[in-house]
Amino acid sequence: MIGADRGVLALLRAHRPSPLHVVDPFKVPPREAVLKAEAVQRAGLPFLLLASTDYDRFDERMPAYVARVKAAVDIPVITHFPPRPGAGLPVATGADALLAPALLGSTDPYFVWQSLLETLHVQHGRGTAQEDLPEFLLEAALTFGDDPVSAAVMHTEPLGRTPAQLDRRIETIRAFGFPVVYLYSRFEQVTGRVCRYFRDRLSPGQLIFIGGNVRSREQLEGYLRAGADYVVFAGALERADWREELDRMCGAPGPRARNGAAALRQT
């Protein structure tokens, strides 16, 4: 079911605020992904993201990849991948949920809303039953700073930071009731001021994800103080000493490490 407050969405609302680690399945080998997923769970993070802007042979790689990760941990697994014209959003069999982005800064309606309808059409054509689909989490995606990669592929334009520019997007997000808002900068950083501006104007049930170049605990905690519900980080653990870095980022193990999936299995 799309947009319903069930399963993962309910858990996301219940577990915030928290850091979230991203594993790129097209850069990280499955064995390393399992080790990182286990470490993330021990650290008390309630979910794991599998995400990438680039992917190839998705249907060949992802089912087994997701299965290995889920066999190792109890926390729900969420995927986040951009759509491709003609195929829609890639759907990973076995994932608990997927973030379905509406790129509000794109000049191409395909990446704003048409891709979601195409995804459902493609999955219906494949004979995928509704109950076999991951939970769809509708996401208003906003990019900040110059991003030639996203501009070339998805025709995105960076969002300005003036109150009038932010208010225009916030009005759309509130009107359509997006449950998730993702604030992202590929080469820069979203400011804490922008995060707070959104938090003060969105409803309490609308979750703010924020990411892009989060590489220190100070950044992470700053975003949480500014009202972010989930702070997404990836590059900080793409190094040989990732275990030590995870401890520096997230601190001692928390008490909620295994609660998420247990609650999900009861829904």
How far apart are the C-alpha atoms of 205 and 201, rounded to whole Å? 12
pTM of the model: 0.89
pLDDT value for 220:
94
Query: Is the pLDDT confidence value at 254 over 50?
Result: no
Mean pLDDT of 90-112: 95
Percentage of the chain beyond pLDDT 90 is 76
The H or E element containing residue 202 is none
The mean of the pLDDT values for the chain is: 90
Over residues 206-216, mean pLDDT: 94
Report pLDDT for 264.
44
Q: C-alpha angle 69/72/73, rounded to 5°?
A: 90
Share of the chain above pLDDT 70, in %: 92
Question: 154 falls in which pLDDT band (50, 70, 90)?
Answer: confident
Burial 234-253 (b: 16+ CB within 10 A, else e): bebbeeeebeebbbebbeee
Residue 246: CA count within 13 A, CB half-sphere: 24
Average pLDDT value for residue range 195-200: 98
- Identify the band that residue 263 occupies on the pLDDT scale cut at 50, 70 and 90: very low
Domain boundaries, the chain: 7-265
Give the tens place of pLDDT for each residue, 19-66: 999 999 999 999 999 999 999 999 999 999 999 989 999 999 999 999
Provide the sign of the torsion angle of the four alpha carbons 2, 154, 80, 173, taken in this order: negative
Spatial distance between the Cα atoms of 175 and 12, rounded to a whole number of angstroms: 21
CA nearest 96: which of 46, 52, 32? 46
Please list the residues that pair with 135 across neighbouring strands: 97
Instruction: Please tell me the CATH code under which domain 7-265 is placed.
Output: 3.20.20.390
Inform me whether the pLDDT recorded for 6 exceeds 70.
no
What's the pLDDT band for 238 if we cut at 50, 70, 90? confident
